[in-house]
Structure 1
Amino acid sequence: MQIPFTACPGLFYTTPAQDGFLYRLRIPGGIINYQQCQIIADIADNYGSGYIDITNRANIQIREIKQRINIEVLQQLQIFSLGSSNANIDHIRNIMTSPTAGIDTEELIDTRPLVKAWEEYITANSHLSELSAKFSVCFDGGGKVAIKYQPNDIILAAELDQSDVYLRLYLSYGEKGEASKDTGILLKPEESIQVLAALAETYLKHIDTKAHRKARLREIINNITIETYIQQVKEKLSPNIFDIRKNSLCDSATLREKNHLGIHPQRQTGLYYIGIVVPLGRLESWQIRGLANIAKRYGDDNIRLTPWQNLLLTDIPQNQILEVEQKITNLGLNSSPTDIKSSLVACSGKRGCAAAATETKEDALNLAKHLENLMILDSPVNIHFSGCSKSCAQHTQADITLFGVTLETANETVPAYQVYVFGHLLYEYVTLDKVPALIRQMLELYQKERLSLHESFGQFIDRHSHQLNQLFSKSSPNLTFTILKSHV
């Protein structure tokens, strides 16, 4: 079996981590059924340490694997669609779409058939394995749970043009970390796979296939210019398919992402989906089995993973919601959007990654325990613990970011955090014992001084953007001795 070189974890090749081998199950669209859940739980128990992690691309990772998974088990995973039938393309990043595709009350198009069609296309075209393992495609159906703001090389986002539904094309280029840019091009949904194929082939044309590190699409476009790239894509298509339609971006394209957690009506009358908080994206194998049983008994047999590292149970009849909620509680989980853990993100940390400076997951859970006992967070605040600069767990900017560092003293090396709000560095070298109190005081300041319950943390920060240092200095008067530097 010829597997392309990649530093990214996958299923058909092993990636060593600090805590053992790491396997990643690529799940296009993020939907898994009862039987698949049972198989995943078995793998976690038999090969790992009895847990799985949901990633920010709605994948599943199994960590702490001490021995390679044998070929018979890998083949079983293929049979049950937990591994690509073409191992050569299994390293390509997971195809993303909204976790509410097909059930969203506001969506313009069900994107699940598009995800399936694109997955079938890349599976049938092994030469696309030469693309960067980070090559990523996203379909947004235009619903209330938006996915088009997640980082991806190519985004096709549904919108109305008069009475017709089109897919607007966004491409990643410019500075690293910038959001994908609107090309002004609208496509008919039935044209999307042909256009994606041309986009991928044009990208591949400019890659040095012999290099171990394949250039990202952003780098290729930056090198040849967006105009040249679009023109070369157009040359691969029939004129009537890529006859560029330039439209100004609609007002409706502003951020409309709504919280997916809690209980929400589906477009199917009488049915609901429940968004469940998965603390730091981690589930024990017994919880996976329990959720699968709930999905099979009360829902549509499926669990939907989200890029926010939570999950949905779908097709729950209204008269069974209370019973399902109790069973979720019995699994040690909940569906509350105000749970501090609902917006808490952390990478694997020092235990799982040699690059990490801190035990991020442990520190994040300690923060959650501290906050749960002392305050109610009535508006979601995204808090991201990152052990190093790679920011593996979350690529988008968080409300509050804690970046792991080490503090060198005369006698020892002490783990600590730099604390940022929306990219503004506020505190350096905050030691672990002072982190919970500092974050609590920052959140209490926000709740006390916001204009209303509807002012988000981001809006609050933006309003005070020119005086953040002064603003937060009064939130931590007793912590100044732990902060060696403070600036914006």
Structure 2
Amino acid sequence: MRRFVSVVVVAVTSGLEIPVVSRRTGISYLPSSAVSRAKAGNKIEKTKLAKDPTNAWSDLHAYAAAIRSGELSIEEVEAGDANIRLKWAGLLSRFKKTPGKFMMRLRTPNGIVCAKTLRAYADAIEPHGGVMDITTRQNVQLRRLPLEAAADLVRELHSNHNATSFQSAMDNVRNVVGSPLGEHDLVDTRPFCNALNDLVSLNPETGERGNPRWGNLPRKFNIAVSGGRDDFAHARINDIGLEPVPRGDEMGFNVVVGGYFSIKRVASAVDLDLWIPADVNVVLDLCSAILEIFRDEGARGDRQKARLMWLVEEYGIPAFRARVLEKAEGLPHDAAQRWEDDYGSRRELLGIHPTHVGVHVPVGRLSVDEMRLLADLADDHSNGELRLTVEQNVLFPNVKSPDALVRRLTDRLAVDPGHIKGHTVSCTGAQFCPLAIIETKHLAERVSARLDDLVSTDRPVRIHYTGCPNSCGQVQLADIGLMGAPARRLDPISGKTKAVPGVNVYLGGDVGESFTLVTEPVLKGIPIDDEDDLVDKLADLVVEHFQGVRRHH
């Protein structure tokens, strides 16, 4: 059963009429069984059926025009559009924290940003006091954008940058992650990530951004292409992870599926016992097959059970593998391949290297001035290109005069930030995110600097902060992870306990070939309202578990 939309008019709350562009909808790709599950499904599924969210790609501009002309205010935009469907255009309402303003999430395949585009981002957010965040998916988020400014930026990106924000949020394939080392790794992941980005966000019939074929998934979907044994893409926390390993003289990928974080469950991807050649068309065929199975057969009821892992477990791994190969008929493949040796320590990305200069961006946050500085440095030293990392930092590739670049860095942006500060990761936190229990970014930046001053270590110690159990800060794979949680502290005056901001503490996660996902905290309800106390507790953990030594002052 296929559904198409013709040119119609949809009335919004204010009485304004928004024309819907004639195009195939996301719903039209669903089989009747999936539509039936959606009709009986959760609130989000019913909202998508009531008005296809792919309409957001044109509604964005219609709403912007109406707001500019005075026909409409942002408060009058229909709630289903403002809070749900506009996410298909990359706009996430953050009205509780920044009234009337959106966070705009971009698509940044393989984390590659050119200087010209970075300046466009700076120009867009500067009039509104915005900031830019680098995310744990090598992506860009812009904060405090009014809807009209976001619409202008979309036009600019589509017209002049070959970039988009479309299909970057909600029930879409999220930013495709790869290795920032690119050509200097076992597999150059850039062509794979670019091709996958176009697969999911470029309409092959019209050449426009926004592909309705993947515009109505049961839930969000993550893909990572790892370039080497360091696994700078963190393949095993993705719905599809591709891990490079040769078969004889031919390089290819082992396929893992089902990794994800959520409030109810944290799951490491499982091996599909499937190896495919490192060929772009083969990778596209594989991912298309898995996406189509997920789109058509995935759960549309309880959203906590709507990720790919639940469908894989419903099938069982052998049966799911067979289903994928049936869907991707003729896919060249073999059983999973294995490395015969132990790899050893993961390489360091920060600092000066023959292949790049790695610059630390504290907790991934950049001001407008810092964005423009990085753009200037890229133009002058790395052919106008920057590469973001999942640790929220920046690489300048193929720099001929690294010392000249480093001399222009600020105290905040550094190549040698310290073993703790340089490997601190943080989610958005309560400053902007309505789900966060605690403020994370400013806390993490202050605490990491104090820890490096207090404790000496001869190895990186990765400390991650996340504001809530959604774990956008990925605390379960950190050396030390702090997740916002309720806590209580004794009031010495009254003798009673009172509620204070707190964290649960995770310990012992790992990345690379020794990947380890820790699913349970070792400490619960640790107060963080006294920053001195928090720094002291973290210093004890670094000394006890990571060979740290307290400095004498």
TM-score, normalised to structure 1, is 0.80
Partner of 1:417: 503
Partner of 1:257: 346
Partner of 1:384: 464
- Tell me, what secondary structure is at the counterpart of 1:406? strand
> Hey, which bits of structure 1, 4+ residues long, moved more than 6 A?
85-90, 209-214
Task: Please state if 1:441 is matched with 2:540.
Answer: yes
State which of 36, 53, 62 in structure 2 corresponds to 1:3: 53
Report if the CA contact (8 A) 1:184-1:249 is conserved. no
Deviation by residue 1:364-420 (Cα, 9 ceiling, x = unmatched): 223123224333333211112222222112264221122323345648532233333
Partner of 2:493: none
Partner of 2:396: 313
What is the deviation of 1:160? 1.4
Report if the CA contact (8 A) 2:111-2:387 is conserved. yes
Report if the CA contact (8 A) 2:87-2:169 is conserved. no
Partner of 2:192: 114
Report if the CA contact (8 A) 1:11-1:90 is conserved. no
Task: Please state if 1:61 is matched with 2:144.
Answer: no
Report if the CA contact (8 A) 2:137-2:175 is conserved. yes
Report if the CA contact (8 A) 1:78-1:85 is conserved. no
- Tell me, what secondary structure is at the counterpart of 2:312? helix
Report if the CA contact (8 A) 2:275-2:337 is conserved. no
- Tell me, what secondary structure is at the counterpart of 1:69? helix
Deviation by residue 1:204-261 (Cα, 9 ceiling, x = unmatched): 220367998882111111122222222222222333x24x422453235867632211
Task: Please state if 1:52 is matched with 2:52.
Answer: no
Ranges in structure 2 where 5+ consecutive residues have no aligned partner: 1-19, 21-51, 55-79, 204-210, 491-495, 509-519
What is the deviation of 1:59? 0.9
Task: Please state if 1:30 is matched with 2:80.
Answer: no
Evaluate the alpha carbon distance shift between residue 217 and residue 253 of structure 1 in structure 2; reply closer, same or farther with a 3 A threshold.
Answer: farther
Report if the CA contact (8 A) 1:166-1:188 is conserved. yes
- Tell me, what secondary structure is at the counterpart of 2:469? coil
Partner of 1:289: 372
Deviation by residue 1:431-485 (Cα, 9 ceiling, x = unmatched): 43210122123323446589xxxxxxxxxxxxxxxxxxxxxxxx9xxxxxxxxxx
Partner of 1:457: none
Rounded Cα–Cα distance in structure 2 between residues aligned with 1:224 and 1:16: 38
Write the letter of the residue equivalent to 1:232: R
Write the letter of the residue equivalent to 2:527: V
Write the letter of the residue equivalent to 1:99: P
Partner of 2:526: 429
- Tell me, what secondary structure is at the counterpart of 1:96? coil
Write the letter of the residue equivalent to 2:523: L
What is the deviation of 1:109? 2.4
Report if the CA contact (8 A) 1:346-1:385 is conserved. yes
What is the deviation of 1:341? 1.8
Partner of 1:219: 310
Evaluate the alpha carbon distance shift between residue 10 and residue 286 of structure 1 in structure 2; reply closer, same or farther with a 3 A threshold.
Answer: farther
Matches within 5 A, 1:225-374: 225-239=316-330, 241-242=331-332, 244-252=333-341, 257-266=346-355, 273-317=356-400, 320-328=401-409, 330=410, 332-336=412-416, 338-374=418-454
Report if the CA contact (8 A) 2:451-2:539 is conserved. yes
Matches within 5 A, 1:20-169: 20=98, 21-47=102-128, 49-65=129-145, 69-79=149-159, 80-83=161-164, 91-102=172-183, 104=184, 107-122=185-200, 123-124=202-203, 125-142=211-228, 144=230, 146-169=232-255
Write the letter of the residue equivalent to 2:501: P
TM-score, normalised to structure 2, is 0.71
Evaluate the alpha carbon distance shift between residue 170 and residue 281 of structure 1 in structure 2; reply closer, same or farther with a 3 A threshold.
Answer: same
Rounded Cα–Cα distance in structure 2 between residues aligned with 1:222 and 1:51: 41
Rounded Cα–Cα distance in structure 2 between residues aligned with 1:180 and 1:86: 23
Give the aligned length.
Answer: 436
What is the deviation of 1:74? 1.9
Deviates more, 1:411-420 or 1:187-196: 411-420
What is the deviation of 1:150? 4.8
- Tell me, what secondary structure is at the counterpart of 1:186? strand
- Tell me, what secondary structure is at the counterpart of 2:182? coil
Ranges in structure 1 where 5+ consecutive residues have no aligned partner: 267-272, 451-474, 476-488
Rounded Cα–Cα distance in structure 2 between residues aligned with 1:394 and 1:88: 18
Evaluate the alpha carbon distance shift between residue 372 and residue 13 of structure 1 in structure 2; reply closer, same or farther with a 3 A threshold.
Answer: closer
Write the letter of the residue equivalent to 2:267: E
Partner of 2:483: 403
Report if the CA contact (8 A) 2:176-2:223 is conserved. yes
Question: What percent of counterpart residues are identical?
Answer: 25
- Tell me, what secondary structure is at the counterpart of 1:251? coil
Evaluate the alpha carbon distance shift between residue 249 and residue 289 of structure 1 in structure 2; reply closer, same or farther with a 3 A threshold.
Answer: same
Deviates more, 1:14-23 or 1:307-316: 14-23
Deviation by residue 1:38-79 (Cα, 9 ceiling, x = unmatched): 0011122123x3321100001111123455535333211222
Deviates more, 1:349-358 or 1:431-440: 349-358
Report if the CA contact (8 A) 1:84-1:90 is conserved. no
Rounded Cα–Cα distance in structure 2 between residues aligned with 1:87 and 1:376: 40
What is the deviation of 1:187? 1.0
Rounded Cα–Cα distance in structure 2 between residues aligned with 1:387 and 1:86: 24
Report if the CA contact (8 A) 1:146-1:258 is conserved. no
What is the deviation of 1:82? 2.9
Deviation by residue 1:151-201 (Cα, 9 ceiling, x = unmatched): 111112221111111221111269942321222211122322112211211
Write the letter of the residue equivalent to 1:416: G
- Tell me, what secondary structure is at the counterpart of 1:265? coil
Partner of 1:455: none
What is the deviation of 1:98? 0.5
Report if the CA contact (8 A) 2:255-2:275 is conserved. yes
Report if the CA contact (8 A) 1:11-1:25 is conserved. no
- Tell me, what secondary structure is at the counterpart of 1:14? strand
Report if the CA contact (8 A) 1:131-1:214 is conserved. no
Rounded Cα–Cα distance in structure 2 between residues aligned with 1:356 and 1:404: 7
Task: Please state if 1:203 is matched with 2:294.
Answer: yes
| Structural RMSD (CA) | 3.2
